[in-house]
Every structure is written in C-alpha cells, then in structure tokens.
Structure 1
Amino acid sequence: MAAYRRGQSGGRRILIVSYHRVVGDFTGELQRSIPGLLISQETFRRHLEEAANAGYEFASIGDAVDVMAGRRATKRDLCVVTFDDGYRDVYRYAYPLLKQMGVPAIIYLPTAFIGTSRRFNHDRLFHLVRHAKQRRLKPYFTTLPAPAMELIEPVLSERKTLSAALDDFIGEHSASVLVEVIDALEQELGGGSELMPEQGDVMDWDDVRRMARDGFEFGAHTLGHTVLTLEPPDVVEREILESKLAIEREVKSSVRDFAYCNGWYSDEIIRVLMKHGFRSGVTTEDVPNRIGGDPFTLKRKVLWENFSIGMLGDYSAALTGCQLDDCFGVLGMSSPVMGRRPHLSATEAANRVLICERLARGEAT
C-alpha cells in the first residue's frame, strides 16, 4: 500500500502530521478538555518512532515545499511534524522529546494569545457547555440568545456529543459570534473564576524564542484563531499580516508558512498569503500530497491519542503504522473533509453580524 501511494503521489510520499496538545496525563486531561486535541507524550514518542520505521525522513515544511516543487530531490519519503495553536503543553512535553530525537517541527501561532493568560474560544465554549450540562441547565428555561441555544441544545438533549456540536458550531459562526455566546453562557451560569478553564494555557514569547534558538520553526495562524472564510476582507488582511509581523518581531526571523484555522481556506485567502510573501498554507485535508501540488493547499493528517488505540484498548503499533501509511485511505475506508470553502462577501459577513446582534437582543428569530 505504501508503494502504491508513493506512485500515486509522484514518486515520493510527503506526509504532514498535525497535533495540538501533547500532555503528560492523558486520562486526567481527557476529563476536562476537547478529546481530539490530546495525545499523551508516550504515544507521541511512539508516533515518531513508527514514522521512522515506516521509512519516512523527518523534514522541515520548507524542504517539503521544495521537493513538491521539484527544487530538491529526496531518496526517502518525507514526514513533517506540525503543531497548531501554540499550547504550552507542546513546550512542556513535545519540545524536549523532539529535541532529544532530532526531529524538526513547525508550530503555528495565533499571536494575540501568545504571552497572555487568555484561552481559546473553542476551549472556553467546551468548558462552559460542560458546566451547563453538569448543572442540568435547561435551554428552554433560559434567556440565551439563538446562537447559544444552537450550540447548547443538541448537547443537553444528547443528540450530539459536545465535541461534535462544537465542531459544527465553530464552522458556521464568526469569531465575534463565538465571543457573544461565551459572554451569554457566562452570564447565564452566574459568572465566577471556575468558568475560565485552567487547562489550555499557551506559550509565552520566551518559550517561543527558546524553541527557535534550537532550530524549531514558527508559522502564522491568525491573530485570534479566526476562521477566515467567515470574515470580511479587511479582517482577513489584518489577521494574516499582523500575525506574521508579530512573530517576526519577537523571533527575528521571517515567517513564510501559514495554517488555516479549522483547515478552511479560499482563493481570496490564498491571494492575501501570496501578497504578503508566504510560501505555504496547510489544511486539515487528510488526503495525499502530490509532487507538483499547490503549496497553499498542503494536506495534513490530524492525529490524536485514539488514532493509535487498538481493539484491546491499548496502544497498537500496527494501527499507528496503518494511519501513517494511509492504509484506510487506500482502501477507501476514510472520508476526508475538504477545506476549500466559498468566502463570505463583505456584505454577507456584515449582515450575519447584524442578524446575530438582533438575535442577541431578542429582535429577530
């Protein structure tokens, strides 16, 4: 299967893997965090070992882009390790391991969060809805605005898991709406420090600079972890350019690589990236990269702990190898979600904000 996929890809496989949080206590963290963002340090180490055993050579994102463009030859398949969001867990648990094993990596940073005590909107919403469920909050007894009801009702009625409901919700609503829902839920739950998640802290700039001195790379991931296809052109421009400039200012090296939040992108977003000197953009499309492919729609396999859990509930080297060799894709057993989306026009984006504001005031249905 690996040989077949290699031939399909133009002679060399270029596997880009994506992680979010590498944690020391997976079981404990699983009780309070979004499961799909988590992988234990031990399983992460095994992933690196399995990739090497599968014949991959670890490479930088720049090397992968050069091989895809034909500017560089390689005798082995390439594996690029990436992390989204700049969680401090990566600094604590992944960085020492990567350094010890000599594996390069790139971390994509939403720069408005770096060096702050803030938490990402997705982590805050997950935490708040968990609290609502634990308190058995009934949505039809509340004064929550319509967008908040859209998120919380399927969870409380057990029609969707919290993770599934949150994925759907974030894919439909702009960053401003997410903030409005967070505010409404906090008010409904009575406020208090327990409504801010303790977990999910992010790196500070000293962490970033320390990793950079050891050769690790950093890419842009917007300012506020913003799904850009849901935003007007001026917001897209600001989120891309200012995130790039912030990293360059703090790290003193050029930033040429970008990760699309939610994996979603459009031709308009790609044009802005090219305008500002980026060389690549990574998606979350779990399909093979091909020699000669578009460097602004690089495909990534997003991995977490359960992708390596076998039938007996323990770590499975065989299953991990199948994941890295894309056996399930070759056999047609996976259904990748593609990231190209139509981009909202400025008028559509403005109208969506106005509607949400009216809904929050109870002026529309």
Structure 2
Amino acid sequence: MAAYRRSQSGGRRILIVSYHRVVGDFTGELQRSIPGLLISQETFRRHLEEANQAGYEFASIGDAVDVMAGRKVAKRDLCVITFDDGYRDVYRYAYPLLKEMGIPAIVYLPTSFIGTERRFNHDRLFHLVRIAKKKKLRPYFCALPPPAIELLEPVLAEKKTLSAALDDFIGEHSASVLLEVIESLEQELGGGKGLMPPQGDIMDWDEVRRMARDGFEFGAHTLGHTVLTLEPPNVVEREILESKLAIEREVNIQVKDFAYCNGWYSDEIIRVLAAHGFRSGVTTEDVPNRIGGDPFTLKRKVMWENFSIGMLGDYSTALTGCQLDDCFGVLGVSSPVMGRRPHLSVVEAANRLHIRGEFAGRTPT
C-alpha cells in the first residue's frame, strides 16, 4: 500500500502530521478537555519512532515544499511534524522529546494569545457546556441568544457528543458570535473564576524564542484563532498580516508558513497569503500530498491518542502503521473532510446575523 501511494503521489510520499496538545497525563486531561486535541507524550514518542521505521525521513515544512515544487529531490519519503495553536503542553512535553531525537517541527501561533492568560474560544465553550450539562441547564427557559441554544440543545438532549456539536458550531459561526455565546453562558451560569478552564494554557514569547534558538520553526495561525472563511476581507487581511508581523517582531525570524483555522480556506485567503510573501498554507484535509501540488493547500493528517488505540483498548503498533501509511485512504474506507469553502461575503454575513436575530438592536459591521 505504501508503494502504491508513493507512485500515486509522484514518486515520494510527503506526510504532514498535525498535533495540538501533547500531555503528560492523558487519562486525567481527558476528563476535562476536548479529546481530539490530546495525545500522551508516550504515544507521541511512539508515533515518531514508527514514522522512522515506516521509511519516513523527518523534514522541515520548507524542505517538503521544495520537494513538491521540484526544487529538491528526496531520497526517502518525508514526514513533517506540525503543531497548531501554541499550547504550552507542546513546550513542556513535545519540545524536549523532539530536541532529544533531533526531529524538526513547526508550531503555528495565534499571536494574540501568546504570553497571555487567555483561553481559546473552543476550550471555553467546551468547558462552559460541560458545566451547563452538569447543572442540567434548560436553555429554552434562559435568556440565551439563539446560537447558544443551537449549541446546547443537541448536547443536552444527547443527540450529539459535545465535541461533534462544537465542531459543527465553530464551522458555522464567526468569532464575534462565539464570543457572544461565551458571554451569555457565563452570565447564565453565574459568573466567577470557575468558568474559565484551568487547562489549555498557551506559550509565552520567551518559550517561543527558546524553541526558535533550538531550530524549531513558527508559522502564523491568525491573531485570534479565527476561521477566516467566515470573515470579511478587511478582517482576513488584518488577521494574516498582523499575526505574521507579530512573530517576526518578537522572535526575529521570517515567517513564511500559515495554518488555516479549522482547516478551512478559500481562493481569497490564498491570494492574501501570496501577496504577503507566504510560501505555504496547511489544511486539515487527510488526503495525500502530490509532487507538483499547490503549496497553499498542503494536506495534513490530524492525529490524537485514539488513532493508535486498538480493539483491546491498548496501544496498537499495527494501527499506528496503518495511519502513517494511509491504509484506510488506499482502501477507501476513510471520509476526508475537504477544507475549501466559498468565502462568506460581507452582505451574506450581515444577512445571516439579521435573519437569526443574533445581534438584535445592533447593526452588523
């Protein structure tokens, strides 16, 4: 299957793997965090070892782009390790391991969060809905905006898991709506420090600089972890350019690479990236990269702990090998979600807000 996929890809496989949080206590963290963001340090280490055993050479994102463009020739298949969001867990548990093993990696940073006590909207919503479920909140009897009810109802009725409902919700709503839902839930739940998740802390700039001195790369991931296909052009421009400039200013490196939040992108977003000197954009499309492919739609396999858990509930070397060799894709049993989306226009965004009554009494901007 590896040989077949190699021939399909133009002679070399270029596997780009995406992680979010590498944690020391997976079982404990699983009780309070979004499961699909988590992988234990031990499982992560085994992924690295088994990628090497599967014939991959670890490479930088720049080397992968050069091989895809034909500027370089790879003697082996390439594997690029990437991390989204800049969680401090990566600094604590992944960085020392990668440094010890001599493996390069790139971290994509949403720069407004770096060096702050803030938490991402997805982590805050996950935490708040868990509390609402525990308190048996009845959304239709609360002073909540329609989007909050839209998120809560299928979870409280057990029609969807919280992770699935949250994925759907974030893919549908702009950052401003997410913040309104967070504020309304916090108010309904009585306020207080307990409504901010203690987990999910973010790196600071000193930690970023320390990793950069050791040769690790950093790319932009917007300012505020913003799904850009849901935003107007002026927001897209600002989120891309200012996140790039912030990293360059703080770390004294040139930023050439970008990760699309939620994996979603559009032709408009790609044009902005190219105009500001980026060389690549990574998606979350779990399909093979091909020699000669578009560097602004690089495909990534998003990995977490359970992708390596076998039928008996323990770590499975065979299953991990199948993931790395894309056996499920070759057999046609996986269903990758493609990230290209029509870009929401300013008029469409305004109409959506007006129709849903999400900002009653306010003019959408």
User: Is residue 2:326 matched to residue 1:326?
Assistant: yes
Cα distance between partner residues in 1 of 2:213 and 2:358: 49
Partner of 1:94: 94
8 Å CA contact 1:13, 1:289 repeated in 2: yes
Partner of 1:58: 58
SS at match of 1:167: helix
| Amino acid of the structure 1 residue aligned with 2:11 | G
Count of matched residue positions in the alignment of Structure 1 and Structure 2: 362
User: Is residue 2:358 matched to residue 1:359?
Assistant: yes
| Amino acid of the structure 2 residue aligned with 1:191 | G
CA deviations on 1:200-227 (whole Å, 9 max, x unpaired) are 0000000000000000000000000000
User: Is residue 2:79 matched to residue 1:72?
Assistant: no
1:13-162 residue pairs with structure 2 within 5 A? 13-162=13-162
CA deviations on 1:248-274 (whole Å, 9 max, x unpaired) are 001101000000000000000000000
Partner of 2:284: 284
Q: Which runs of 5+ in 2 are unaligned?
A: none
TM-score (norm 1): 0.98
1:145-294 residue pairs with structure 2 within 5 A? 145-294=145-294
| Amino acid of the structure 1 residue aligned with 2:76 | R
CA deviations on 1:92-127 (whole Å, 9 max, x unpaired) are 000000000000000000000000000000000000
| Amino acid of the structure 2 residue aligned with 1:309 | I
SS at match of 1:100: helix
8 Å CA contact 1:146, 1:360 repeated in 2: no
Shift of 1:349: 2.1
Aligned in 2, Cα 1:253/1:179: closer, same or farther, shift over 3 Å?
same
8 Å CA contact 1:231, 1:344 repeated in 2: yes
| Amino acid of the structure 1 residue aligned with 2:136 | R
Partner of 2:8: 8
Shift of 1:361: 4.0
| Amino acid of the structure 1 residue aligned with 2:209 | R
Shift of 1:144: 0.8
| Amino acid of the structure 2 residue aligned with 1:133 | K
Cα distance between partner residues in 1 of 2:267 and 2:187: 39
Shift of 1:353: 4.0
Shift of 1:20: 0.1
Aligned in 2, Cα 1:137/1:362: closer, same or farther, shift over 3 Å?
farther
Partner of 1:346: 346
CA deviations on 1:62-98 (whole Å, 9 max, x unpaired) are 0000000000001100000000000000000000000
Shift of 1:196: 0.2
8 Å CA contact 1:221, 1:258 repeated in 2: yes
The sequence identity of aligned pairs, in percent, is 86
Cα distance between partner residues in 1 of 2:345 and 2:33: 34
8 Å CA contact 1:270, 1:296 repeated in 2: yes
Cα distance between partner residues in 2 of 1:361 and 1:156: 26
Moved over 6 A (4+): none
Q: Which runs of 5+ in 1 are unaligned?
A: none
Cα distance between partner residues in 2 of 1:267 and 1:361: 32
SS at match of 2:172: coil
SS at match of 1:112: helix
| Amino acid of the structure 2 residue aligned with 1:48 | L
8 Å CA contact 1:106, 1:218 repeated in 2: yes
CA deviations on 1:123-150 (whole Å, 9 max, x unpaired) are 0000000000000111122111100000
SS at match of 1:268: helix
Shift of 1:362: 8.7
| Amino acid of the structure 1 residue aligned with 2:291 | I
| Amino acid of the structure 2 residue aligned with 1:274 | A
Cα distance between partner residues in 1 of 2:279 and 2:326: 26
Shift of 1:354: 4.4
| Amino acid of the structure 1 residue aligned with 2:26 | F
Cα distance between partner residues in 1 of 2:153 and 2:347: 29
Larger mean CA deviation between 60-69 and 347-356 belongs to 347-356
8 Å CA contact 1:145, 1:362 repeated in 2: no
Aligned in 2, Cα 1:362/1:145: closer, same or farther, shift over 3 Å?
farther
| Amino acid of the structure 2 residue aligned with 1:288 | P
Larger mean CA deviation between 191-200 and 346-355 belongs to 346-355
8 Å CA contact 2:353, 2:359 repeated in 1: no
CA deviations on 1:20-67 (whole Å, 9 max, x unpaired) are 000000000000000000000000000000100000000000000000
Shift of 1:4: 0.2
8 Å CA contact 1:87, 1:201 repeated in 2: yes
